[in-house]
Amino acid sequence: MLLAAAPARAQVVVVDTAHTFYHEAPTRTNMTVYTPGVDVSVNPTQWLTIRGGYEADIVSGASVAVKAGPAYQAVNPGADVISTASVNDVRHSPRGAITLRKGDVAYTAQYTYGTEHDYKSHSIFVSAKTEAYEHDTQFELSYARNFDRVCDRTQAVNDRPPRFRALEDSTACFADSDPLRTRHTLSIDGLQAGWTQAWTPTFATQLAYTAQILDGFQSNPYRSVILAQGLKAQEHHPENRARQAIAFRANLYIRPIKVAVRIGARVYRDTWDITSGTGDVEVERYLFEGFRVAARARYYKQTGASFWSDDYTGGNAPLGPKGQYWTGDRELSPFSSIGIGLRLTYGLQPAKGRLLGLMTGLKVGAAADVMQFSYDEYTLGGVPITNARAYILGANLSASF
């Protein structure tokens, strides 16, 4: 949401392309993700918008394959535990959407298909948005539904989760004729309600509530966790999860110095007993016509899941001290992160005519962020994760015709 921006012009076709490069390098693991995307929006009439787009995730690096706790490593210092494994995958995600408008009300429907070597997803999204009180107030309600399928290794008939073996690789994951591969389902229902209010020409707020219910396979099929006296078992998460969050944003434009200030806060809670809080602030300066520079900062902190443990080898029970579930996912452990970033944006919109004889407007942008992670309990083989950072570079271009 931008304040004091130039009035929008009627546009027939808008082409947006965005590219993000993400590199994460905590101790002994690393991950690189390149995400290109493109969207095309067509407005054949004032009451109809048709959009189509495509996005990909190109992933490479190393992730945790076997999670062993410090107690196990101390007793078995020479144990043959492979802590990392190579990851290479590509996700393709085309989408299409249509928006119908009548007066101050807009209805949107979107379908997205996602496919990768070991995961397939069908997603539908519908929303209704209306404006009131001379367009100063906006209400939006949306619903999303995912129908996902996750590849897994076929387990022995009489085995139970403590003896489940992790998936070796994604070979023949969706070949129904392969007896060593099976598929699990995961359904996701999401609801969001939002209220945006422009209190003055230079001050606006937004309040949003989101809720989501997940039902199905939610573990990493490739990851194992050391249980009890050295039993290597595939990661095992609960199949049901409900989560909700409430977020607030405020935007203020200070005309005399041409500065926009944006602050945000978000509180999250789920049935896995994870509670988190996020705070962010962004200050954007309009340097000259069409050119803006923004600096931003973000802080995040969460508790761990109720079944989280850095070591499941304590006690005599084969399922570990936390009960019937176990995880090697550091994102389910207690941790915090802090991020800072910079964004540059430049837009051109000629008073008359067209740019290069084709475009009614052109906008380009670039961004760079760095995030520092701090893990309260998570270790790899008893070694704390230190100096864990992620670097994010982004570039985008938008052209209207």
Residue of 210, 307, 187, 200 whose CA lies nearest to 250: 200
Q: CB-based contacts of 86: which residues, under 8 Å, 6+ apart? A: 61, 62
Average pLDDT score, the chain: 90
Please give the structure tokens belonging to residue 385.
């994760």
Work out the average pLDDT over 101-107: 95
Report the distance separating Cα 59 and Cα 338, nearest Å: 24
CA Rg, the chain, in Å? 24
Q: How many domains does the chain have?
A: 1
Output phi, psi for 196, to 5 deg: -115, 130
- The pLDDT tens digits of the residues spanning 10-37 come to 568 999 999 999 999 887 788 999 999 9
Asked if residue 269 lies in contact with residue 12, where contact means CB atoms within 8 angstroms, the answer is no
Asked if residue 219 lies in contact with residue 235, where contact means CB atoms within 8 angstroms, the answer is yes
Domain assignment present for residue 302? The answer is: yes
Output the pLDDT for position 65.
Answer: 86
For residue 358, is pLDDT > 50? yes
Domain assignment present for residue 49? The answer is: yes
For residue 71, is pLDDT > 80? no
Task: Indicate the pLDDT class of residue 321, thresholds 50, 70 and 90.
Answer: very low
Domain assignment present for residue 84? The answer is: yes
For residue 265, is pLDDT > 90? yes
- The pLDDT tens digits of the residues spanning 36-68 come to 999 999 999 999 999 999 999 999 988 888 888
For residue 84, is pLDDT > 70? no
Say which residue the tokens 């000259």 belong to: 288
Report the distance separating Cα 65 and Cα 77, nearest Å: 18
Cα 206 to chain centroid distance, Å, stands at 20
Task: Indicate the pLDDT class of residue 351, thresholds 50, 70 and 90.
Answer: confident
For residue 352, is pLDDT > 90? no
- Percentage, residues of the chain above pLDDT 70: 92
Domain assignment present for residue 392? The answer is: yes
Work out the average pLDDT over 102-128: 96
Task: Indicate the pLDDT class of residue 75, thresholds 50, 70 and 90.
Answer: low
Q: CB-based contacts of 173: which residues, under 8 Å, 6+ apart? A: 117, 118, 151, 181, 183
For residue 8, is pLDDT > 50? no
For residue 366, is pLDDT > 90? yes
Please give the structure tokens belonging to residue 59.
């992933």
Output the pLDDT for position 172.
Answer: 87
Domain assignment present for residue 142? The answer is: no
Task: Indicate the pLDDT class of residue 78, thresholds 50, 70 and 90.
Answer: low
Residue of 123, 227, 246 whose CA lies nearest to 166: 227
Q: What is the 3-state secondary structure (H, E, C) of the chain?
A: CCCCCCCCCCCCEEEEEEEEEEEECCCCCEEEEEEEEEEEEEEEECCEEEEEEEEEEEEEEEEECEECCHHHHHHCCCCCCCCEEEEEEEEEEEEEEEEEEECCEEEEEEEEEEEECCEEEEEEEEEEEEEECCCCEEEEEEEEEEEEEEEEECCCCCCCHHHCCCCCCCCCCCCCCCCCEEEEEEEEEEEEEEEEEEEECCEEEEEEEEEEEEEECCCCCCCEEEECCCEEEECECCCEEEEEEEEEEEEEEEHHHCEEEEEEEEEEEECCCCEEEEEEEEEEEEEECCEEEEEEEEEEEECCCCCCCCCECCCCCCCCCCCCCECCCHHHCCEEEEEEEEEEEEEECCCCCCECCCECEEEEEEEEEEEEEEECCCEECCEECCCEEEEEEEEEEEEEC
Domain assignment present for residue 190? The answer is: no
Work out the average pLDDT over 188-206: 97
Work out the average pLDDT over 348-361: 83
> Which domain range does residue 40 map to?
14-106+199-400
- Percentage, residues of the chain above pLDDT 90: 70
Output the pLDDT for position 237.
Answer: 96
CATH classification of the domain holding 228? 2.40.128
Output the pLDDT for position 27.
Answer: 73
Please give the structure tokens belonging to residue 223.
């990851």
Output phi, psi for 260, to 5 deg: -105, 130
Asked if residue 119 lies in contact with residue 134, where contact means CB atoms within 8 angstroms, the answer is no
Q: Could you tell me whether strands 66-67 and 224-227 are parallel, antiparallel, or unpaired per DSSP bridges? A: parallel
Say which residue the tokens 């379908």 belong to: 111
Report the distance separating Cα 142 and Cα 13, nearest Å: 25
For residue 6, is pLDDT > 60? no
Domain assignment present for residue 117? The answer is: no
- The pLDDT tens digits of the residues spanning 119-158 come to 999 999 999 999 998 889 999 999 999 999 999 999 988 8
Please give the structure tokens belonging to residue 321.
């001290």
Output the pLDDT for position 67.
Answer: 86
- The pLDDT tens digits of the residues spanning 167-182 come to 988 888 998 888 899 9
In this prediction the pTM is 0.89
Task: Indicate the pLDDT class of residue 316, thresholds 50, 70 and 90.
Answer: very low
Work out the average pLDDT over 83-106: 89
Domain assignment present for residue 51? The answer is: yes
Say which residue the tokens 């919109």 belong to: 349
Residue of 141, 151, 86, 99 whose CA lies nearest to 120: 151
